[in-house]
Structure 1
Amino acid sequence: MSERITTPFTADSTAAEVAAGVDLTGKRAVVTGGASGIGVETARVLVAAGAEVTIAVRNADAGRRTAADIEATTGREVRVAPLDLADQASAAAFAANWDGPLHILVNNAGVMATPETRTPEGWELQFATNHLGHFTLTTGLHRALAAEGARVVVVSSSAHLMSPVVFEDIHFHERPYEPWPAYGQSKTANILFAVEAAQRWAADGITVNALMPGSIATNLQRHVDPEELARLAASVPGRVLKTVEQGAATSVLLAASPLVEGVTGRYFEDSNEALPNQGGLTGGVAAYALDREAASRLWKVSEETV
């Protein structure tokens, strides 16, 4: 087993603290879901560090408001581009329209615990959005990412501990639909994507890592009953809600910090590589989420699906 990656940062560190002293001048970055939650703070800190940032958003009005807010606080321009990850054509179009190198891609957007919803293809919405949309986007951007050895950052969740990828019935055609296992499966898929992409793209100088941002009260939870959310949070010993600034820290670490230069195919939480999960939803990473065979299988299934 390779040595665990640790940094001086903790669960309390903010994205701005992690990026202190980092100069991203001349670097181009894309943050999906950059108009809400930790996506806004991730984009803001990358902009403040000098990067040319494009926020890829489903809601154009929210994107423009966010861009104006970040511009007001940093004095630097922010680009806004349309992206609906539940729509394969939208993800493919974003990738096709990108011109030139891309140094940082933060796959941050996602939906959580939605009522049973299907895309026009019949795919379960959370898997379609959180995994398949980002799969099409990221593989479509491969040439741009490989141009100068980019960093790809995949925002997963401790909810991956709720379910492996159930290859026999990914889209809940046979089993009854449950919002949380469906979300958990999509977040496991995020980690497996990082594991496989890290292997496939190592020769291109592209690093790919996944992360758990922490428990943060954001718009992501709009489909979840507040009482249920409180019960879930209380069920995890020591779980403390983070601020958005703290929640974006691990994304920014993986996107920009020299402390993780060359690190790839790993899963981080609280700005350090996660330890193996010890059971329950206590944090850490499930063995099935780092399984090389499952990662390879998921890639093949994803290619065939899209």
Structure 2
Amino acid sequence: MCIFIDCLLCPTVIWSAVIGIGVYFLKDYMQGGQFTKETNETGKVVIVTGANTGIGKETAKELARRGATVYMACRDMTRCEIARLEIVKETNNQNVFSRELDLSSLASIRKFVAGFKAEQQKLHVLINNAGVMRCPKTLTKDGFEIQLGVNHMGHFLLTNLLLDVLKKSAPSRIVVVSSLAHTRGAINVDDLNSEKSYDEGSAYSQSKLANVLFTRELAKRLEGTGVTVNALHPGVVDTELARNWKFFQTNFVKYFLKPMLWPLLKTPKSGAQTSIYAALDPDLVNVSGQYFSDCKPKEVAPAAKDEKVGKFLWAESEKWTSKSD
């Protein structure tokens, strides 16, 4: 017994316990704001893009748990169906559907919308969640730089094609998942498609700034319709978003840096909280054109308030997405 007590009181054990407890509380603190209000979403129809993994999957799961009819709009139908079955099993909500949507293809977006409208007369929440990050120089099927194309242009077209259903279903909401990276972004009006030069980090930040500019411009256009639109930063979340970033695939990151950073990362469930808050909080029914982080309002970067650039981006987005297939 004395030997056991001596072991417990040895400095190595004590310091290990102190560090372990500290890491636990740090991890808990870093999860950020949580949406704790209980709501009943039975009868509500929701679309979540990129819902087969990460933040999107957790968002879809929570909406299903609250009774909503959830459309999981994904590019990879095999993974989407696996996630759908898991959500149905966990929530006991049979009204969860997997549908194909490739945001890098205008044709796929139009096909998805046509199929959705053939099935549903209403849409109460559209969550533009899907995204790609720090990709090598790649073009979408329609010739757009992949990050701007998927993160902004694809969602721009999707949203506009669904506005008639959203207006008919008012009060309804659009939620745009942006990022703190928008604060480092700039809209390159002379080379929006990164044809003259390309930097994967700058292109990503530009696409996230485009999300916020789109949100603010759309909010003005939707005034008086009963449809609101807000953007958000989900936090630094442990997801697959960085799968295209070569640095994060190195052994140094996998076996050393990521374990060191683990206490600072949000879980996908915590990362989904601000999306759920923006989609469901009753206090936000008339709030539009705002930006949230950790389930509360946050100031956007000065570049996101540039109305002239916002109008430029809208006009270019309309022109690009109106291409015939």
* TM-score normalised by structure 1 residue count: 0.87
State the 1:98 CA deviation. Answer: 2.1
Q: Which runs of 5+ in 2 are unaligned?
A: 1-28
Q: Which residue pairs with 1:132 in the alignment?
A: 153
State the 1:172 CA deviation. Answer: 1.1
- Change in 2 beyond 3 A, CA 1:55/1:179: same
State the 1:11 CA deviation. Answer: 6.3
User: Is 1:164 equivalent to 2:182 in the alignment?
Assistant: no
User: Is 1:188 equivalent to 2:209 in the alignment?
Assistant: yes
- Aligned counterparts, 1:1-306, within 5 A: 12=31, 18=35, 20-77=37-94, 78-99=96-117, 100-149=121-170, 150-175=172-197, 177-224=198-245, 225-226=247-248, 240-275=264-299, 285-306=300-321
The structure where helix makes up a greater share of residues is 2
State the 1:295 CA deviation. Answer: 1.7
State the 1:197 CA deviation. Answer: 0.9
Contact 2:105 2:142 (C-alpha < 8 Å) held by counterparts: no
Q: Percent identity?
A: 38
Contact 2:75 2:101 (C-alpha < 8 Å) held by counterparts: yes
- Change in 2 beyond 3 A, CA 1:208/1:46: same
Q: Which amino acid aligns with 1:304?
A: K
**Separation of aligned partners in 2, 1:258 and 1:73:** 25
State the 1:13 CA deviation. Answer: 5.1
Q: Which amino acid aligns with 1:250?
A: T
State the 1:171 CA deviation. Answer: 1.1
- Change in 2 beyond 3 A, CA 1:95/1:222: same
Q: Which residue pairs with 1:7 in the alignment?
A: none
Q: CA-to-partner distance for each residue in 1:23-75, whole Å, 9 max, x for gaps?
A: 11110000000001100000001111111000000000111100111011100
Contact 1:30 1:55 (C-alpha < 8 Å) held by counterparts: yes
Q: Which amino acid aligns with 1:212?
A: H
SS at match of 2:87: helix
Q: CA-to-partner distance for each residue in 1:185-235, whole Å, 9 max, x for gaps?
A: 0001111111011111122111000000000111111012227989xx99x
Q: Which amino acid aligns with 2:79?
A: A
Contact 1:162 1:180 (C-alpha < 8 Å) held by counterparts: no
Q: Which runs of 5+ in 1 are unaligned?
A: 1-9, 276-284
SS at match of 1:96: helix
Q: Which amino acid aligns with 1:300?
A: A
Instruction: State the structure with more CA Rg.
Output: 2
Contact 1:11 1:271 (C-alpha < 8 Å) held by counterparts: no
SS at match of 2:190: helix
Q: Which amino acid aligns with 2:111?
A: A
Q: Which amino acid aligns with 2:31?
A: D
Q: Which amino acid aligns with 1:27?
A: K
**Separation of aligned partners in 2, 1:120 and 1:145:** 27
Q: Which amino acid aligns with 1:170?
A: L
State the 1:259 CA deviation. Answer: 2.4
Contact 2:132 2:151 (C-alpha < 8 Å) held by counterparts: yes
Q: Which amino acid aligns with 2:228?
A: T
SS at match of 1:123: coil
Q: Which amino acid aligns with 2:92?
A: G
Structure 1 stretches of 4+ moved >4 Å = 227-230
SS at match of 1:169: coil
Q: How many residues align?
A: 279
Contact 1:98 1:141 (C-alpha < 8 Å) held by counterparts: no
**Separation of aligned partners in 1, 2:202 and 2:30:** 26
**Separation of aligned partners in 2, 1:170 and 1:271:** 32
Contact 1:267 1:273 (C-alpha < 8 Å) held by counterparts: yes
Contact 2:273 2:295 (C-alpha < 8 Å) held by counterparts: yes
State the 1:162 CA deviation. Answer: 2.1
SS at match of 2:283: helix
Give me the CA root mean square deviation.
2.0
